[in-house]
A and B are shown apart, each in its own frame.
Chain A
Amino acid sequence: MKVNKHKPHVLLLPEDDDNRQLANGFCLSLPESTNIKILPLADGWMEVFDVFESREISGMRAYSERFMVLLIDFDNHLDRIDYAKRKIPHDLENRVFILGSLIEPKDLKRAGLGTLEEIGSSLAKDCREGTDTVWGHDLLRHNATELERLRAYVRPILFV
């Protein structure tokens, strides 16, 4: 299955293996996965932005229907979002979203929210139903602003 690059599609760039597993769960809860892909791991939160700058910006400019979700760990540094925003070119900022757990995804598991896949599925369910059951958790609620943007732009693509 080739993603049709001329139709709206979403690429997920995870920082690490735990974020990839969250993304797996998210994808499993979509009605279909013809318009979403999980990219290889960046292996570090700063590397997410390095990879984005070096490999993804040109593709995003070439394909105006491409949306990018960068999945990072905040490691208790919510100011990373400011660093991240500086790395996103002005012309792409409406199509790039930065999400992540307050410390790291394993904390969500320790908090009893399920396996990483299950948590990812619950996050997708929240997106689909417009709820905040999991997104409203202490370890995730800092994503509210990005999530609101994501819902506006990406929900119509993934939950048709």
Chain B
Amino acid sequence: MRFEIEVELDSKIYGYSIAFELPEGFKELRILGEKLEVDGKPVYAREVAQVHLSREGQVKEANFLIDWHLVALPIIQEKSAKDPLSILKQWLARMLILQPIPSLIDGISEQETLQPNRQLLDLGAWFTGLLVNTPSAYTKIDTYLKQVMPDLEDIQNPETGTDSRSLFVRFSNEQGKMRLPFKDLSDGEKSFVICALVLAANSIYGPLFCFWDEPDSFLSLEEVGHFIMTLRRAFQSGGQFVATSHNSEAIRSFSDENTLVLYRKSRLEPTIVRLLEEFQIDGELIGTLIRGDLDL
């Protein structure tokens, strides 16, 4: 198994690759090779247990051994925050891999983070982290949310104990006011808040890679297109947004050159991934998908 990632950060191309193998008689995978390059120049390379650190400035090259079950990237110590290792590791750590479960998100936090977990059960901590990191993040969050929830007044995050905070959302219009604990928002409203935080995060500490598993799951049909387009637009100027979807409105918000079709005949066969533009589609895409006529 080989994984490769290439990303442009601060106008430099970072290339990282890692390959695993399962030799005969082994119970666990071992690392066959690993490499990090910046603009084509090696930072380190590794073959099985042997790691070679390239010379950089005054720092001499070095060789050392590492357990062949361990990935070298998190182990090699970076020299400063400007070290390519540090830059790549931070970017990797801040990737947003999202598979939120809105009904379980309560908005309560006991810490702050810029690295929320996949289900976003720590959304409150992420909200706090964003605002502590960059207070102007609130303006970005507020601007988007007021587009999609016109009667939103503000989001509050008061202390509820020595080390805890809890999100509350206030709404108001000519008919009155309402203050709701975050947990009482609908799943769709929580999805809007997640979207607002993603937009703010990419703007503040991006460019980010954001993978969102079925972002349309809790939205009404009339909301999906705008929701996806907003995310796509925001990531045009930096970062990358990838979504999975079975929703026709979400699928229609992408085009042939940026839609991947994933298909697996059975559990025992590998998933086939192909760009939509490689298919000859006779007629309309969604109808073709519904009929199952997209021949892989």
Q: Which residues from chain A sit less than 8 Å from chain B, CB to CB?
A: 1-3, 16-17, 20-21, 24-25, 27-28, 30, 32-34, 37-38, 40-41, 43, 115-117
Contacts and interface: CB of A to CB of B under 8 A. Distances in A.
A66 to B, nearest CB: 14
Contact of A17 (B148, B232, B258, B281): B281
B236 interface: yes
B175 interface: no
B39 interface: no
A130 B7 CA distance: 36
Contacts of A17: 281, 284-285
A24 B256 contact: no
A1 B192 CA distance: 9
Contacts of A38: 225, 252
A117 B227 contact: no
A30 B252 CA distance: 17
Contact of A33 (B233, B258, B281): B233
B256 A1 contact: no
B255 A115 contact: yes
B255 A33 contact: no
Given A115-B255, A117-B257, A33 B284 contact: no
Contact of B230 (A2, A20, A33, A37): A33
Contact of A3 (B222, B229, B281): B222
Contact of B255 (A40, A43, A116): A116
B255 A117 contact: yes
Nearest to A116: B255
25 contacts: A1-B148, A1-B222, A1-B226, A1-B227, A2-B223, A21-B255, A24-B253, A24-B254, A28-B229, A28-B233, A30-B233, A32-B230, A32-B233, A33-B225, A33-B233, A34-B147, A37-B222, A37-B225, A40-B286, A41-B284, A43-B284, A115-B257, A117-B255, A117-B257, A117-B258
A1 to B, nearest CB: 4
B161 interface: no
B252 A116 contact: no
Given A17-B281, A17-B284, A33-B230, A1 B147 contact: yes
Interface of B: 147-148, 222-223, 225-227, 229-230, 232-233, 236, 252-258, 281, 283-286
A69 B285 CA distance: 21
A106 B286 CA distance: 19
Contact of B252 (A3, A20, A34, A43): A20
A33 B257 contact: no
B256 A21 contact: yes
Given A17-B284, A37-B225, A117-B257, 12 more contacts: A2-B223, A17-B285, A21-B256, A24-B229, A24-B252, A25-B255, A33-B226, A34-B226, A40-B286, A43-B283, A115-B256, A117-B258
A88 B229 CA distance: 30
A2 B233 contact: no
Contacts of A32: 147, 230, 233
B295 to A, nearest CB: 17
B109 to A, nearest CB: 27
A154 B257 CA distance: 28
Nearest to B147: A34
A50 to B, nearest CB: 15
A27 B284 contact: no
A28 B283 contact: no
Interface centre among B236, B257, B286 (most CB of A within 10 A): B257
Nearest to A16: B284
Contacts of B148: 1
A30 B229 CA distance: 10
A34 B149 CA distance: 12
Nearest to A43: B284
A28 B236 contact: yes
Contacts of B230: 32-33
Contacts of B257: 115, 117
Given A17-B284, A17-B285, A41-B284, A116 B256 contact: yes
